[in-house]
Amino acid sequence: MNFKERHQKHVEIAEALNKKSALGPCPVCGESKRFVDGNFTSVIYTNPESLPNGPSILCVPVICRNCGLVTAHSLQVLGVSIPDVQTGPLLSTQLLPKPGGRIE
């Protein structure tokens, strides 16, 4: 995935979050200072045998600039696919560049 494709994917993620109203005010402090981080994370399950899609969920963090709350949003639930990012128990983060800054 080249730089332009990564930027388009970042925009797609932000649009999917907006569509689901996931970028509203922070649920902890109420401030409207949240942003989509440029990294992916994997939530790893301790009992992966019970999960149909494997031992982890690929997520994108949304962070509050005021209180620091981090929420992880499943890319699968958002309907966003990342074809060249591998998921699994050894993945911690994958960088998604932030061209021109973060998308808020």
pLDDT at 33: 87
| Residue 15 DSSP label | H
Query: Which pair of tokens denotes residue 64?
Result: 């509050």
Tell me how crowded residue 2 is: count the other CB atoms within 10 A of its CB: 7
**What is the average per-residue pLDDT within 3-22?**
86
Cβ atoms of residues 89 and 24 within 8 Å: no
Q: What is the pLDDT of residues 23-80, one digit of tens each?
A: 889 999 999 888 888 778 888 777 766 666 667 788 999 999 999 999 999 998 999 8
pLDDT at 65: 92
Domain ranges of the chain: 3-95
To the question of pTM greater than 0.75 for the whole model, the response is no
Q: Is 54 left (phi over 0), alpha (psi -120 to 50) or beta?
A: left
